[in-house]
């Protein structure tokens, strides 16, 4: 399913909205015969301007409200992820306030159009239209904070990855700075992923693809990069870590747990093992495999590898040691992932 916020486009601020509506109104022309009396011409001209301005504002505000999906109605993964990224109550309130001004605008239109009918001198039409524009401006200006808020959350929501529920999701998880992004970048199409020597570089879920022609079909896999996790209780996790937990819990079909057996990532091996065990116990149904990968092969000593192997109770064959800097053995990771999903079919 495509990211439900994909069509959440830039939201204009109050000044921009008013400019567009008033300009359009002033450019509009009423249908009136050339030899009609000046008073009739003035009434028609100004009523057209009022109608055009208010219709433009109502249409645009409705457009804004409609392009923001209702978080509560989204599928679970998107709903929970969006709730982590934005305050959904604030968003609902915000849209409710915008919606609330629509009948007010319509009422102003009705009121002043009927006043316009009663005028006896042409210049009074101009005065009424100015009054309407003034009232409308103050109503729209009061919504500026709401409009700006919508714009401010838009970027975060549009970054939510589009998940194809038809094909498997393989998630790279682990402590910060262990090389998760380097691995996803190497084995998938997600080539613009940011990789840095410091922890917490990845702050959201990023999806890449891996397509393999096998036998007579194309196998499509989704490879997901996730933010680093610390070894700590869920209640202490921040919203960035919680995104990773959410993906593991709700959409993973296979988890590659990336270890850095060396101290170079900044998180000692016992805390990485605790994290691995915690994920294994708490988050996974029995049919989702958590597969350990030992990265930073170039830096890891035999002693460090043996310690980790022993702690995890791994036999030798079930171990992939990688170097994500050079790509060494990452083809084994690719093969492992592909074989796993060929067998299922």
Taking CB under 5 A as the criterion, the residue among 47, 202, 243, 322 binding Mg ion is 202
d(CA 152, CA 154): 6
Is 182 near ligand GTP (CB under 6 A)?
A: yes
Nearer to ligand GTP, 79 or 237 (CB): 237
- Stretch of 28-36, 107-115, 180-188, 216-224 contacting ligand GTP, by CB under 6 A: 180-188
**Scanning residues 223 to 262, which ones bind ligand GTP (CB under 6 A)?**
228
Is 14 near ligand GTP (CB under 6 A)?
A: no
Tokens at 41, concatenated: 């011409």
- Stretch of 8-16, 133-141, 153-161, 323-331 contacting ligand GTP, by CB under 6 A: 323-331
Is 181 near ligand GTP (CB under 6 A)?
A: yes
Is residue 75 within 8 A of residue 1, CB to CB? The reply is yes
Is 195 near ligand GTP (CB under 6 A)?
A: yes
* Residue 43 interaction partner, one of ligand GTP, Mg ion, none, beta carbon < 5-8 Å per kind: none
Q: How far is the CB of 184 from Mg ion (least distance, A)?
A: 8
Strands (E), the chain: 169-174, 206-214, 217-225, 254-259, 289-294, 320-321
Taking CB under 6 A as the criterion, the residue among 199, 278, 284, 289 binding ligand GTP is 199
What strands, in cross-sheet order, belong to the sheet with 320-321? 206-214, 217-225, 169-174, 254-259, 289-294, 320-321
Relative orientation angle of helices 330-344 and 180-187, to the nearest 10 degrees: 70
Is 188 near Mg ion (CB under 5 A)?
A: no
Is 181 near Mg ion (CB under 5 A)?
A: yes
Distances (CA, A) of 311 to 173, 271, 272, 306, 320: 19, 12, 11, 8, 16
- Residue 164 in 3-state DSSP? coil
Binding site for ligand GTP (CB under 6 A): 176-182, 195-197, 199-202, 228, 295-296, 298-299, 323-325
């Amino acid at each position: 399913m495509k990211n439900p916020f994909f069509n959440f486009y830039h939201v204009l601020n109050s000044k921009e909205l008013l400019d567009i509506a008033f300009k359009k109104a002033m450019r509009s022309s009423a249908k009136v015969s050339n030899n009609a009396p000046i008073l009739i011409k003035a009434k028609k001209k100004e009523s057209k301007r009022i109608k055009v301005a208010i219709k433009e504002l109502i249409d645009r505000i409705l457009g804004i409200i409609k392009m923001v999906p209702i978080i509560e109605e989204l599928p679970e993964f998107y709903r929970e992820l969006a709730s982590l990224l934005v305050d959904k109550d604030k968003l609902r309130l915000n849209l409710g306030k915008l919606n609330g001004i629509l009948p007010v605008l319509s009422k102003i239109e009705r009121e002043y159009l009927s006043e316009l009918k009663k005028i006896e001198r042409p210049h009074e039409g101009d005065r009424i239209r100015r009054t309407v524009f003034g009232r409308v401006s103050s109503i729209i200006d009061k919504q500026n904070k709401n409009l700006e808020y919508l714009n401010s959350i838009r970027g975060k929501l549009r970054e939510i990855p589009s998940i194809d529920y038809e094909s498997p999701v393989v998630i790279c998880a682990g402590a910060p700075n262990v090389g998760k992004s380097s691995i996803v970048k190497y084995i998938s199409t997600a080539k613009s992923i940011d990789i840095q020597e410091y922890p917490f570089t990845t702050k959201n879920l990023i999806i890449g693809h891996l397509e393999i022609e096998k036998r007579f079909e194309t196998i499509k896999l989704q490879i997901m990069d996730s933010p680093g996790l610390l070894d700590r209780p869920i209640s202490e996790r921040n919203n960035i870590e919680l995104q990773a937990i959410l993906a593991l819990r709700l959409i993973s079909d296979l988890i590659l747990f990336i270890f850095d057996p060396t101290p170079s990532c900044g998180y000692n091996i016992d805390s990485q093992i605790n994290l691995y065990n915690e994920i294994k116990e708490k988050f996974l149904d029995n049919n989702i495999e958590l597969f350990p990968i030992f990265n930073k092969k170039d830096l890891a000593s035999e002693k460090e590898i043996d310690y980790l192997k022993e702690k995890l109770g791994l036999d030798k064959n079930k171990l992939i040691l990688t170097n994500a800097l050079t790509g060494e053995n990452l083809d084994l990771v690719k093969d492992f992932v592909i074989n796993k999903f060929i067998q299922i079919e």
